[in-house]
Structure formats: C-alpha cells, structure tokens
Amino acid sequence: MAVVAACMPAVADAADGTMSLIDRTATDPEYDNYPNFRQHALTILRRKAAETRPLDVNPYVAELLGGAGMPSVELHAEDVEEFFVAAARDELTIVRAMGFVARAVRETGVLTYLNGAHAREVVGRFGLDVGLAVPMSHLLLFAYIPADTSANDPVQCRFLAVYGAQYEHRFHRDVLNATLKVGTGRDVPYLDPWDDGAEIRTAYIVEGRIMYGDAGIGYVDVSGIGGRKHGLLGVMQKVFFFLPDAIDGMVVRGGDLHVNAIMNQRVEGFESALRYAVHYRDGMLIAPDGPPAP
C-alpha cells in the first residue's frame, strides 16, 4: 500500500497545493482537440491510481520490465478498449495518443503494461484502422517504462514491445517505402504472465523511447526493427539481408511526420490526415496491422 500512497499525490490530490495530474489533464490545452481522449485519460488516471501495486510477475517478465517490486499498473482489456475507442472518436494518431500516456508515466513514475492480445482483439472487433502504429501482429506484451530523465528532457519514458515471432511488416508507402522485419534485435526467454500453463519460449524485443515536447512527439532511439529498401537496392537486399535497426525515429513536428530511417521521409499534414489516425474503417474488419500498403 505504500506504493499506492506514494503515487496518489501526483495523480489525485496534491498535498502541497500544486495542481494534481488529474486537474492539469482536465485543463491541459494539449487535449483541447481531443475531448474523448481527455475523458479517457481522466478515467484511467482515477482508476489506475487505486490499482498501482509493486510489479509482481514471473522473473522472465520482471527482468524485461526493470525488476520486480517497482510501482506498476496493468492496462486490462477494458482499458485497452477505451483507449482505442476514444482515439477513434477523436481521429487521434497513435503517435500522439501514446505520447499522452508517456507523459503520465513520466509524472507518476509508474510502469504501465498491457497484454498484446487485448490490443489485437479490440482492433479486430471494432473494425479499426490504426493508421500509423506500433506493429501489432504477434505482439505479446507492451510496456511504458519510466526513464531517468531531467525535467527539460523531451523524452517521457522508454517503451518495450515483446513479439512472439519475427515477421515482415509495412507502413504506408508514403511514410516509409520499405519492407520492415520486426524482431531483428535481441531475443529473450519469455514466460507469458497471463497464461498459467505457458512454457518458456523465445521472444523478440523492439524498444526505444517516447518523446513529447517542443522538439516533437514520437519515437526515438528505436531498435529491433530491420528493413529493406524498395527499388534496385532492395532487390539486392532481398537476396542477402535486412539492414539492422532500420528505423531510428518517427517524430511529429508542426503537424508533419519526420521519419529517420533507412530512407528518411517527411509526411506533410500527418496529423490532419484521417488515414494516419485511428478511425473506423466503414464497419469492416481489417488485419490488426492496418490496411495493405498502397
């Protein structure tokens, strides 16, 4: 219970008279264009303040997340559903939505994690196009992990994605005209914390940091994703190899997406284009990774 008490002032009622995280979220102009996601954030903050506990998972998962005993909350199926539904109602990009979560993780210092199967299930059941998102096929676990950063550092937290298989993935061609291979970084022994009958298996890690600030919103220092360019060079790479760590960062600045990867690209008007936001796809169920690249 001491862990709960430690994080409560930052979330609910600040004892020193400063504005609490909930109060600031209710008035934060960053949320003004996203009223449904603001309400989702307020609901989650209130709900999870009471659910914060020392991390208590098996040693394989605890090691990946930074060690047993640290303050943590699990996002359950209903939390994940609310996240995607609120983002779809506001036609919010996953990049900014994850940035909002990362800001809360930084302020509370609470590790936040979820079952990847819940994200895949929600996207499929609601027929959502997730726009530009962290690849979700074979996703086993996703975590926002507090990072030791200074007050002026735009990095809000680390992220860690655990995959059950290596596989090829494509973003929209105008975002990155290349074929990616998810899970080309380190592999680890993994024991599913949501399956009492699970056996230890090999899993693959994609990780990086999430930033939110004047320098932009997005992912930096990404590792664990290989890539192959299209075109003549891509033909040669297809025969021999995927380039390691193909994506270093994907950051939104001034509404445009700046991709720092095996081929740098800029997507103008990224945050104002529906195709890159979470949205309902005419009631049609689609694959969890979104529509095929054009």
List, for residues 172-193, the tens digit of each pLDDT value.
Answer: 777 777 777 888 889 999 999 9
The answer as to whether 288 is a domain residue is no
Instruction: Assess if residue 70 is contained within a domain.
Output: yes
Query: Do the domain assignments include residue 12?
Result: yes
Tell me 242's DSSP state: P
- Whole domain around residue 131: which residue ranges? 2-278
**283 within some domain:** no
Question: Average pLDDT for residues 220-247, to the nearest whole number?
Answer: 63
**Quick one: pLDDT at residue 235?**
41
CA dist 39 and 45 (Å) reads 10
Give the pLDDT band of residue 245 (cuts 50, 70, 90): low
Residue 272 lies in a domain: yes
**How confident is the model over 29-53, as a mean pLDDT?**
96
- 260: which residues sit within 8 A by CB, 6+ positions away? 247, 248, 249, 250, 251
User: Which is it for strands 247-253 and 71-75: parallel, antiparallel or unpaired?
Assistant: unpaired
What domain count does the chain have? 1
| DSSP 8-state assignment for residue 255 | T
pLDDT at position 162 over 80:
yes
Host H or E run for residue 205:
strand 201-213
Residues composing the chain: 294
Residue 107: pLDDT over 50? yes
What does the pLDDT read at residue 244?
58
Find the mean pLDDT for residues 154-175.
87
Q: Is the pLDDT of residue 3 over 60?
A: no
Contact 245, 221 (CB under 8 A): no
Taking only the tens place, the pLDDT of each residue in 139-159 is 999 999 999 887 788 999 999
The answer on pLDDT for 242 being more than 70 is no
* pLDDT score for 24: 94
Q: Is residue 176 part of a domain?
A: yes
Residue 290 has pLDDT above 70, yes or no: no
Could you tell me the two tokens for 54? 């020392």
* pLDDT of res. 230: 64
Asked whether residue 90 is domain-assigned, the answer is: yes
Average pLDDT in the 216-233 region?
A: 80
Q: What is the pTM of this model?
A: 0.86
Q: Could you give the CA distance from residue 72 to residue 113 in angstroms, rounded to a whole number?
A: 8
To the nearest 10 degrees (0 to 180), the angle between helices 94-108 and 77-89 is 130
**Is residue 55 in some structural domain?**
yes
Question: Regarding predicted confidence, which is higher, 275 or 27?
Answer: 27
The predicted structure's pLDDT at residue 122: 92
